[in-house]
Amino acid sequence: PGLSRSFVQQLIDQGMVTVDGRAPKSKFKVTPGQMIQLDVPEPEVVGLEPEDIPLDIVFENGDVIVLNKPAGMVVHPAPGHGEGTLVNALIGHCGEQLSGIGGVRRPGIVHRLDKDTSGLILAARNAAAMHKLMAQFQARTVEKMYVTLVERPPKTTTGRIEAPIARDPADRKRMAVQRGGRPAISEFETIQRYKEGYALLHVRLLTGRTHQIRVHMAFIDCPVVGDAVYGYRRQRLMRGQFLHAARLCFDHPRTGERLCFEAPLSPRLQAVLESLTPI
């Protein structure tokens, strides 16, 4: 009671709802006697203050803004991260134009990147653009390609991982491949192997589940280098995870023109690669 349908749908999309211990699919019908569990987050009092934070703007017009987010920046305010976020910077840059678009805590944000993931992220500058862009994500017409360094080469040069993802029942802060989870599909291609045992991959997301690449790479025993949650604890190559959103393509919400953008690796990630010996 007191929860809107859209809010409950967001909880389902985030893996915060289980039916008999499993994450339901979008059109799942409940039958009498089933146990439904909702992990409803505590209400957050978040004041969205504009901040003068430099932004790496890749593209901008009256409808959209494409940014190259640095690793270490949180996308939107949350407990423990009330300032210094990408949203604070966007409000400082765009003013009231973003207000209310995408919800009170995520104005303008169409999709997310993890705090320690760098690269391209898309924001909407008006409600019409937001609705059309979100529809593209739901229809899976947005192209997202990531560059990642993994602990060991996959068994095949190219591959497709189809493994459902849900909240880890043993640790609700983690995601895990689970039967009954939400469908998740990733495609990968090995770009370079190194004598030290690492491999550089291009990974394309066909779905957008929380921590999808990190969970899928760990699932095939090739965890992302530097991943403190799903990776190897003995890794000492770098601090922070090597995961970068390198390419983003979508249809302009007003004109329909296909737009594609690329962001190079940061000097920090490039230095990691230069420290390795290609095979």
DSSP string, the chain: ----HHHHHHHHHTT-EEETTBPPPTT----TT--EEE-PPPP-------------EEEE-SSEEEEEEPTT--SS-BTTB-SSSHHHHHHHHHGGGGTTTT-SSSTTB-S---TT-EEEEEEESSHHHHHHHHHHHHHT-SEEEEEEEESS--SSSEEEEE--EEEETTEEEEEEE-TTSB--EEEEEEEEEBTTS-EEEEEEESS--TTHHHHHHHHTT-PBTT-TTTS-TT--S-SS--EEEEEEEEE-TTT--EEEEE-PPPHHHHHHHHTS-B-
Q: What pLDDT was estimated at residue 258? A: 98
Q: What pLDDT was estimated at residue 67? A: 97
Length of the chain, in residues: 279
pLDDT digits (tens, 9 = 90+) for 147-172: 999 999 999 999 999 999 999 988 88
Tokens coding 122: 């898309």
CA distance 226 to 232: 8
Interval 3-13 mean pLDDT: 68
Interval 16-40 mean pLDDT: 77
Class of domain 145-244: alpha beta
Hey, where are the domains in the chain? 1-41, 42-139, 145-244
Q: Which has the higher per-residue pLDDT, 62 or 235?
A: 62
User: Which conformational region is residue 172 in: left (phi greater than 0), alpha (psi within -120 to 50 degrees), or beta?
Assistant: alpha
Q: What pLDDT was estimated at residue 1? A: 44
Q: What pLDDT was estimated at residue 43? A: 45
Q: Which has the higher per-residue pLDDT, 41 or 109?
A: 109
Residue 74 scores a pLDDT above 80: yes
pLDDT digits (tens, 9 = 90+) for 135-149: 999 899 999 999 999
Residue 205 scores a pLDDT above 90: yes
> Half-sphere exposure of residue 251, counting CA atoms within 13 Å on the CB side?
14
pLDDT digits (tens, 9 = 90+) for 80-115: 666 789 999 998 898 766 645 555 556 788 898 999
Q: Which residues are catalytic?
A: 114
Q: What pLDDT was estimated at residue 45? A: 41
Phi–psi pair at 218, nearest 5 degrees: -65, -35
Class of domain 42-139: alpha beta
CATH topology of 42-139 equal to that of 145-244? yes
Which residues are CB-contacts of 170 (< 8 A; sequence separation ≥ 6)? none
Q: Which has the higher per-residue pLDDT, 163 or 19?
A: 163
Residue 54 scores a pLDDT above 80: yes
What whole-number percentage of the chain has pLDDT above 90? 60
Interval 7-19 mean pLDDT: 74
Q: Which has the higher per-residue pLDDT, 37 or 122?
A: 122
Chain mean pLDDT for the chain:
88
pLDDT digits (tens, 9 = 90+) for 206-255: 999 999 999 999 999 999 999 999 998 666 788 889 999 999 999 999 99
Interval 2-31 mean pLDDT: 72
Tokens coding 277: 């010996």
